[in-house]
Amino acid sequence: MKSLLFSRFLLLLPWVLIVIIVLDIDSSRAPLPARAPRGGGAGSGEPRSAAARPPPQRRPEAALPTIYAITPTYSRPVQKAELTRLANTFRQVARLHWILVEDAAARSELVTRFVAGAGLPCTHLHVPTPRRYKRPGLPRATEQRNAGLAWLRQRHQHLPPPQPGVLFFADDDNTYSLELFQEMRTTRKVSVWPVGLVGGRRYERPVVENGKVVGWYTGWRADRPFAIDMAGFAVSLQVILSHPKAVFKRRGSQPGMQESDFLKQITTVEELEPKANNCTKVLVWHTRTEKVNLANEPKYHLDTVTIEV
């Protein structure tokens, strides 16, 4: 019996030794480093679908349509303060070209110096309003807006299409959210949005149903073809160039009707593009600077230095 067990032990011994040797060799091998997926960090070990997916690319600034802002301005004590506030906003907007038009027979020194130090692309124009149109109750800034339109058409008339761009009218007493410029930049023809602090109400807006403008929430003359403030719309540059005779009219135009008189030359209500979450967000305010109290200002200059305000 003992000899039988001993013979079986000798028979199994070589196989046991072979198994021990193999296990010893495997344990002595150094583990290979984890292979990093393409585009991921070394040793991240994440699947390619998660780690190798590139981050979303921002649209190159050079590919953005240029926004052209036409701003009429006129001499008054708060002019430089108003322009400074507006320039501080515009400097934060990519690819914006400011068309600043003075109501004057010549460029003023104040605005000329201001434009030189504004730090953004700017075209400085001037055209005076005829004295007969300066009476109270008549539309204002007509000549200045038309001068801006004429410059824009002249600049682009010899360039081949398409010429991506967007135009809006930025009065110097308005306040703008930067979000508004993101909204208007995608304008295909004419886009619209609400305006705050206008028409004797907290806001006015186009009424939108199923993505289309169907009416107007306004405090004054809702029967206007386009019951909207000058700060409440933007126009594609292509539309401006394809309608060379579309201007702001003097003859027959009434206060508060300039927007309608202009827009009905280039579009219809059905074609309007609602922005700002279907016209439910206010991104521009028709603010007005308080009338300055200069009751103690001397009639003649008494200070030893001259300071531009």
pLDDT in tens, 233-258: 999 999 999 999 999 998 877 778 99
Residue 127 belongs to some domain of the structure: yes
Q: Structural domain of residue 176, as residue ranges?
A: 66-192+230-253+260-270
pLDDT reading at 41 higher than 60: no
304-308 long-range contacts (CB < 8 A, ≥24 apart) are: 308/80, 308/110, 308/113
What is the signed CA dihedral for 36, 40, 45, 48, rounded to 10 degrees? -100
Residue 217 belongs to some domain of the structure: no
Residue 173 belongs to some domain of the structure: yes
pTM comes to: 0.79
Provide the domain count of the chain.
Answer: 1
Residue 18 belongs to some domain of the structure: no
- Secondary structure letter of residue 288 according to DSSP: -
Q: How confident is the model at residue 82 (pLDDT cuts 50, 70, 90)?
A: very high
Active site residues: 259
Q: What is the CATH number of the domain that holds 265?
A: 3.90.550.10
Residue 125 belongs to some domain of the structure: yes
Residue 124 belongs to some domain of the structure: yes
User: What average pLDDT does the chain have?
Assistant: 85
Binding residues for UDP-alpha-D-glucuronate: 72-74, 103, 140, 145, 171-173, 286-288
> CA-to-CA distance for 46 and 37, rounded, in angstroms?
7
Binding residues for Mn(2+): 173
Three-class SS of 215-232:
EEECCCCCCCCCCCCHHH
pLDDT in tens, 119-164: 999 999 999 999 999 888 888 899 999 999 999 999 998 888 778 9
Q: How confident is the model at residue 188 (pLDDT cuts 50, 70, 90)?
A: very high
Residue 26 belongs to some domain of the structure: no
pLDDT reading at 44 higher than 50: no
Residue 108 belongs to some domain of the structure: yes
